[in-house]
Structure 1
Amino acid sequence: ARFFDWMEEEGYGTDVTRGEDWVRYAAKLIAGGQTVKRHEEVLAAIERFTRTKTKAEILAAAFERNLFMVPLNDCRDLVESEQLAERGFWIPIKHEAMDREVLHPGAFARMSETPLVVDRPAPRLGEFVLEEAARTSSPSAAPAVVAEGEATLPLAGLKVLDFTWVYAGPAVTRQLADFGATVIKVECPTAHDALRANQPFKDDVPGNDRSANFSSVTLGKLSLGLDMNAEGARDLILSLVDWADVVVENFSPKAMKKWSLDWPVLQARKPSLVMLSSSLMGQTGPQRMLAGYGTMGASISGFGYVTGWPGERPSAPYVAYTDYVSPRFGTPALLAAVDHARRTGVGQHIDLSQGESSLHLLGAATLDYTANGRVMAAQGNAHPHYAPSGVYPCIGDDDWIALAAPDDATFAALARVAGQDWSDDPRFTSNATRLENGSALDDAIGAWTARHDRASIEATLIEAGVPAHRVSGSADAFEDPQLAARGHFVDLPYGECGVVPFENARIRFSRTPAEPGPCPTLGQDNAHVLSEILGLDEEAITELIIGGAIQ
């Protein structure tokens, strides 16, 4: 609503932007309560307004008016970013072949005790052969021998205090829980985790304990329903800090400080503690207070400009992209810090910017700019170095097949399967000519695939050695034989929803496979945490209930 107030102030309000409940607008749209025509009129009104603003003005308004709104940055914007400059993200590294320094993405996380160091270019072929041979030939400690049947989950005994919400933080602690860590999720009973209201819901019935997204990242955790602003809550948290090895939070930088639970306070109380703070822009820099979701993280980190079709509007990746990517950096950083703390007794703080860590997946694009001055733009499904690479229509309702031919042999196999003389066509005889005539090649392949169903064409292409797979939907995933063979889905109980399927851990350990546990309902483990983990007696628990901390 604040955004539309701004539009109104500057004379850009219209009938379609007035009187709408914008908090519930998305749900209304999904439920069909808004016509496509009306929604397009809303978007057109917004565009007329935003076209009067520069990207810098948009970002400034996000801070001044507390708006969830950011510009779409390209690689040039990222290199010139004041935020990234102040955080020292870009590292100049000398390249001998170019005889100059080139800016590289720096550390994916800022670790207070054991900082990650980026100080040399990628190795030349064979550059470190002798050094590596000397290292691997030196004696090392023998690994501990575990008797058959005695193996435990690799993170058994690790104690985690979890202040995370939505997705970027919970996805980290879900991985820890999968492999044996005891994770206590702290959640306010009157201000729920926002992901609980996120669709889809079991049987399309909304409810606090019915969201697929929320339950997916909460498997195996203990739920403590605690009002952090109530009397006695902070003392209770400090007792849990004394118990914990690790604290994880993904609020904006001001939240933990407001509760006097920020890193300096917790470090002074427990020097061996490891704390991971994951936020959109990191704990420092002029944009540190920018609050938002992974959709914003993807846009401000450069993904919006490289996603979509050439010459058309930027599309940006599907949903909250950086929320899904950044946990893959946060978890290994956290485990490295835990290992260091166990060996030295010294904890540390990990400052993880979701935008910065995700930006490493644009490494080639950013280096192309810093080394060659080229700004990567959207190119659809096309690959910059070979053709074909794309998604093509099949018989059926919105059925598609994805395929690629990265070399001449694979392209010849594709042509044989299709029964076409593409390899003899002058436009397609080499990779260079295929790239030059990519649109014509896509049209030819699409005309062939459109006559076949995706299942048969997928099987035929794979048998011929052509990389291919149908474009899968959710229902396809449950019928996928590869996912089934790997045990990708597990059935677990979830409160009133009964037993439902969840995604298993994404990594398969041969000796100590993950054991995802059920998703708790809100406050389900209050008694266990208070009495068994903290050892509180009945009188102390009653006082917490009377004071409103526990509900």
Structure 2
Amino acid sequence: MPIEETPGPLAGVRVVEAGQLLAGPFAGQLMGDLGADVVKVEPPGSGDPMRQWGREKPHGHSLWWPVVARNKRSVTLDLRREEGQRLFLRLVEHADVVLENFRPGTLERWNLDYDRLREHNPGIILVRVSGYGQTGPYSGRAGYGSIGEAMGGLRYITGEPDRPPSRTGLSIGDSLAATHATVGTLAALLHRERTGQGQVVDSAIYEAVLAMTESLVTEWDVAGYQRERTGPILPNVAPSNVYPTADGHAILIAANQDTVFRRLAATMGEPELAELPAYATHGARGSHQEELDQRIADWTAKHDADALLDLLHEAGVPAGRIFRAEDMLADPHYAARDAVVRVPDPTFGTLAMPNVVPRLSATPGSVRWTGPTLGEHNEAVYGDLLGLDADERAALGAAGVI
């Protein structure tokens, strides 16, 4: 049966998502946003624990689930049972991608390793997201995103210098691994289009975090320099900090480039600052970072936030507020670009959530529906796609397989 036509560049691609929680499912969300038909496989009865996660649960319903499971179809299937494994392999025959984020070795224990998947679908792409990757001495360890953030180097450099390492307030390690898994999937799909061959995409959380750490390892390897926690600044990059205003707000100003700093100095009414040896170059400003920040803070503290931003924007100096959710929902630029989209939801009426990123001019993605109920698409997938009749589906349900 052909996939129901959906908008987006991945329309016509079917992804069977067998993961849970965040790292795998966020990759599924990204692919679904781009138009893929994502069939999410969940354990009967309980489903993905993400259905219950989140800080706020009005009426007992998660507000995270409708976002991370959007654009997906839900089927129930017990992969621990042989009948469930056989049914999963039938799904694989109709798929382009299998996405999973179990601990390495789990698919192998279920007799669903890549070689067996390939027997049923030679072009299948198996995308595997895990804490430490599929190989190496740590591969068998349990690995959450927070552990990957620590091992990948992000935690050590996050926070204030006089306090223990902090976290970002988001599950950034999981999300980075999912994003890299999606990039790998797209590359594998292109390779298969050219050669007909599938492959395994191995995305480790700690490596996805490591990939974001710029020259951190190289600096230590060559110069013995270890980046440390520096709070709201980057050492030797000035001015780029958060500055106070007269009405109690905080404005981020980033004017560390020479030409931009000259514009900032002129806006402050002190154009001569840009000519002083202490501030004339990027390196000099970095060496005098603390005193320069104080000088700018003394100036910003004399202005209300709106007036200050007007001055800076008119002068071409990058500056902005530090947004919270309520600011995003009220901001005209967010509104003009539909950065936040409101999606109908059977439980909540409508839900605001981030729109699809990135934007494609010819084949844009879309948010078509919020996270489905558990097993909502059993009939469509097992009946229409796999051809199981009502009696077969009923028997599998009674046996607890689906």
TM-score by length of 2: 0.91
Kept in 2, the 8 Å contact 1:232–1:547? The answer is no
The answer to whether the aligner puts 1:214 opposite 2:65 as a matched pair is: yes
Distance 2:367 2:221 in 1: 43
Distance 1:414 1:275 in 2: 51
Q: For 1:69-468, list aligned pairs within 5 A.
A: 153-201=8-56, 204-205=57-58, 207=60, 210-230=61-81, 232-395=83-246, 399-420=249-270, 422-423=273-274, 427-468=278-319
1:348 to partner: Cα distance: 0.9
SS in 2 for 1:472: coil
Q: 1:167 to 1:451 in 2, by over 3 A?
A: farther
Kept in 2, the 8 Å contact 1:310–1:378? The answer is yes
Higher alpha-carbon deviation: 189-198 or 157-166: 189-198
Larger radius of gyration: 1
Distance 2:345 2:277 in 1: 60
1:242 to partner: Cα distance: 1.1
Query: What is the number of residues matched between the two proteins?
Result: 396
SS in 2 for 1:363: coil
Kept in 2, the 8 Å contact 1:267–1:273? The answer is yes
Q: 1:469-490 CA deviation, whole Å, 9 max, x = no partner?
A: 1111111111222222222122
Q: 1:373 to 1:222 in 2, by over 3 A?
A: same
Distance 1:538 1:423 in 2: 77
Q: Which has the higher contact order (CA 8 A, sep 6+)?
A: 2
SS in 2 for 1:392: strand
Kept in 1, the 8 Å contact 2:7–2:365? The answer is no
SS in 2 for 1:165: coil
The answer to whether the aligner puts 1:548 opposite 2:400 as a matched pair is: yes
TM-score by length of 1: 0.67
SS in 2 for 1:219: coil
Kept in 1, the 8 Å contact 2:153–2:209? The answer is no
Kept in 2, the 8 Å contact 1:303–1:317? The answer is no
1:355 to partner: Cα distance: 1.1
1:277 to partner: Cα distance: 0.4
Aligned residue type for 1:408: D
Kept in 1, the 8 Å contact 2:154–2:209? The answer is no
Q: Which residue of 1 aligns with 2:374?
A: 522
Higher alpha-carbon deviation: 360-369 or 421-430: 421-430
SS in 1 for 2:213: helix
Kept in 2, the 8 Å contact 1:163–1:249? The answer is yes
Kept in 2, the 8 Å contact 1:231–1:544? The answer is no
1:543 to partner: Cα distance: 0.7
Q: 1:253-290 CA deviation, whole Å, 9 max, x = no partner?
A: 13222322122321233221110001010011111122
Aligned residue type for 2:401: A
Kept in 1, the 8 Å contact 2:267–2:315? The answer is yes
Aligned residue type for 1:531: G
Kept in 2, the 8 Å contact 1:297–1:321? The answer is no
Kept in 2, the 8 Å contact 1:160–1:182? The answer is yes
Q: 1:316-345 CA deviation, whole Å, 9 max, x = no partner?
A: 433322112222221121111122223322
Kept in 1, the 8 Å contact 2:132–2:143? The answer is no
The answer to whether the aligner puts 1:481 opposite 2:332 as a matched pair is: yes
